[in-house]
Amino acid sequence: MKAYQELSREELLDLKDELSRAFDIVKEKGLKLDMSRGKPSVAQLEMGMGLLDALDSKSCMKTAAGLDTRNYGLLDGIPEAKKLMAEIMQVNPENVIVCGNASLPIMYDTISRSMTHGVMGSTPWCKLEKVKFLCPAPGYDRHFAITQHFGIEMITIPMSPQGPDMDLVEKYVKEDASIKGIWCVPKYSNPQGYTYSDETVKRFAALKPAAEDFRIFWDNAYAVHDLYEDRSDSLLDILSECEKAGNPDMVYEFASTSKISFAGAGIAAIASSKANLDFIKKSMTIQTIGYDKINQLLHVNYFKDIQGVKAQMIKHAQILRPKFEAVLRVLEEELGGLGIGEWTKPNGGYFISFDAMEGCAKEIVARCKEAGVVLTGAGATFPYGKDPKDSNIRIAPSFPTPEEMAQATDLFVLCVKLVSVNKLLEQKEA
């Protein structure tokens, strides 16, 4: 395969004709596929239906300690659920509060509470002139949406396969007391599928922030979401690393079973130091009498422990893996060596990150949409929805069937080629 950059103007024009015809043919098919979000597929949801048998009208509704899950109370969750979520995050149960149906609201509430009530006695952020967050990017659009919603200024931090650029992170948090936090998806990052190296985690734990109310928002969304049984990434426990480094209160960790049990009907948790949890509970006890403990009991009855979770994740992987492999195979076969795109090959998580030639991402996404395949909006993986290079595209292979996934990827590579050819022709004409 010859790289597109080496093609002459004439070769590019011929290619353009050929690709345009191919595009018109696909467009005729009237595809209607959605690769925009990390949604579990119907097959995954069907696989998990046993959960609904884990409680019925004959069940014991009490915890081992005798607490009735059907009644009010128990702000921080039933002990059995705390243990389960602690095992998923590899932390101690006493560092865990089990909350509602998803982790996103916990993160939102954490920011919202910091705005109105500060962090462990600090000035409420809404009273400050300026509050800033570091945002490793490409990253998770819903994180950036929260900080943007609260008027928090976002600073982009470049990502590498080892994690965020720690030189920059260290410099920023040390020098600027208005920097109050950083968003992290440390394992199988959204969208690249990178896992932070041990060195990165240790450097995070050893940060010396100018702001005493600086916190690491550690969204461990894919803690057990391996795609392969024989090669999985491992992540150091940030809580114990922070404690060792003398920064016990510097991190909030988040996790949920949204992509373990059911999306939007799972259980979610926050893990942090006792001092942080005590402060959080001061607001939480005003906000709620308690989260849904029946759903917590349902999850505990079904999964029992981390072994049950891991067994479930192997079944999820069996459904997800062929889709990831289908995408990666088509990308490799169709784009390998062409010099018009690079992509990640993750061992877990829900996404593949694709980097097109600069200035091509929006057009590729638009072309795909024109032919019936919805991708995550270009730019969504950056703060304010603005990718400075207009290059990154998040591919979410989970929802379509493997057949649909192959069709969608065929269209995707076609659009990448077509848009890249146009870009190269523009450049030659300029």
| Residue whose structure tokens are 């011929």 | 14
Our finding on whether 116 is near a copy of itself (CB under 8 A) is: yes
**Following CA atoms 244, 174, 125, 102 in sequence, which dihedral angle do they give, to the nearest 10 degrees?**
-50
Q: Is the Cβ–Cβ distance between 392 and 355 less than 8 Å?
A: yes
Q: Rule CB under 8 A: is residue 300 a binding residue for a copy of itself?
A: no
State the binding string over 252-271 for a copy of itself (x if CB under 8 A, else -). Answer: ------x---xxxx------
Q: Does 108 bind a copy of itself (CB under 8 A)?
A: yes
Decide: is 135 part of the binding site for a copy of itself (CB under 8 A).
no
Is residue 364 close enough to count as binding a copy of itself by CB under 8 A?
no
Closest CA to 78 of 89, 87, 68: 68
Cβ atoms 63, 78 nearer than 8 A = yes
Q: Which of 13, 34, 124, 240 binds a copy of itself (CB under 8 A)?
A: 124
Counting contacts by CB under 8 A, is residue 120 touching a copy of itself?
A: no
Closest distance to a copy of itself from the beta carbon of 115 (Å): 5
CB of 149 to a copy of itself, least distance (A): 5
Burial of 251 (0-12, 13-18, 19+ CB in 10 A): buried
Give the count of residues interacting with a copy of itself (CB under 8 A).
Answer: 58
Smallest separation, CB 105 to a copy of itself (Å)? 5
Q: Which residues pair with 216 in a beta bridge?
A: 182, 251
Q: CB-wise, 27 or 281, nearer to a copy of itself?
A: 281
CB of 343 to a copy of itself, least distance (A): 24
Single-letter amino acid code for the residue at 153: E
Using CB under 8 A, pick the residue from 22, 67, 115, 128 that binds a copy of itself: 115
- Does 121 engage in binding with a copy of itself (CB under 8 A)? no
Which among 330, 344, 327, 316 is positioned nearest to 229, based on CA atoms? 316
Site for a copy of itself contains 286 (CB under 8 A): yes
CA-based nearest residue to 190, from 413, 380, 411, 420: 380
| DSSP string covering 131-186 | -EEEEEES--HHHHHHHHHTT-EEEEEEEETTEE-HHHHHHHHHH-TTEEEEEE--
Provide the pairing of β-strand 179-184 with 132-137: parallel
Under rule CB under 8 A, residue 379 binds a copy of itself: no
Residues 42-81 that bind a copy of itself (CB under 8 A): 42, 45, 48-53, 55-59, 61, 68-73
Nearer to a copy of itself, 148 or 240 (CB): 148
Burial of 240 (0-12, 13-18, 19+ CB in 10 A): middle
Q: By CB under 8 A, name the binding residues for a copy of itself.
A: 37, 39-40, 42, 45, 48-53, 55-59, 61, 68-73, 100-102, 104-105, 108-109, 112, 115-117, 124, 126-127, 142, 145-146, 149-150, 258, 262-265, 283, 286-295
